[in-house]
Amino acid sequence: MFTPEIDATASPESSYSPLNAQLASLLSGERDLICNAAQLSAFIMQTVPDLNWAGFYFARGEELVLGPYVGNVACTRIPFGRGVCGKAASTQDVQRVDDVHAFDGHIACDAASASELVIPIVVAGKLVAVFDIDSPNVARFSDVDQAGLMAFVSTFVDATDLTWSI
Ligand code: SME
């Protein structure tokens, strides 16, 4: 059984790197997209404090469709350009929103969400998915959290066969 180790005394700066090594070990030897997407979502919810939702939306045409996640039930389809996830999809840029209630067009899947980080996954210039992370705390995500969570997503991309999703 793989149990991620969390050092509760570590600063955020020093905690993401060892966690990323554990994530690489967790995903090693498995290239299946659904399997690794589910594991990444659970790993983040298990190791990063103060989150209420983490998971995938996959690009299907000009829409995002809900994929593996951990959290409350969520909207199934989001058009590119709508909400925080849709903006990440249409711009292919990371979206970090300190207060989702002040974000024009935010889609409130879970009323508890207060801040959000959405990381687009782009392969050869084409959007494959976005990885969405929500927190019940306003301004939960710092530069350090963004860099650490982007490194987790990068580890997932390296470990996973993304070809059938494109
Ligand atoms: N809040 C997101 C929708 C997805 S849920 O948070 C899981 C958005 O505005 O795109």
Question: 35-48 pLDDT, tens per residue?
Answer: 999 999 999 999 99
CA 106 to chain centre: 17
Query: Global pTM?
Result: 0.95
Percent of the chain residues past pLDDT 90, beyond the cut: 84
Query: What average pLDDT does range 64-74 have in this prediction?
Result: 97
CB 142, CB 49: distance < 8 Å: no
Burial of 122 (0-12, 13-18, 19+ CB in 10 A): middle
* Span 90-106, pLDDT tens digits: 999 999 999 999 998 88
Position 166 scores a pLDDT of 58
Q: Give the tokens for residue 89.
A: 């999809």
How far is it, in rounded angstroms, from Cα 43 to Cα 27? Answer: 10
- Structural domain boundaries of the chain? 12-165
Query: What average pLDDT does range 51-74 have in this prediction?
Result: 97
Verify whether ligand 1 is closer than 6 Å to residue 70 (CB atom). no
Q: Which stretches of 23-89 are assigned E, i.e. beta strand?
A: 53-60, 63-71, 77-79
CA distances from 152 to 35, 105, 110, 137, 149 (A): 15, 27, 24, 21, 5
Query: What average pLDDT does range 50-76 have in this prediction?
Result: 97
Ligand 1 center–CA 90 separation, angstroms: 14
Please give the CATH number for the structural domain made up of 12-165: 3.30.450.40
Ligand 1 center–CA 143 separation, angstroms: 20
Ligand 1 center–CA 29 separation, angstroms: 31
Verify whether ligand 1 is closer than 6 Å to residue 53 (CB atom). yes
Query: What average pLDDT does range 48-76 have in this prediction?
Result: 97
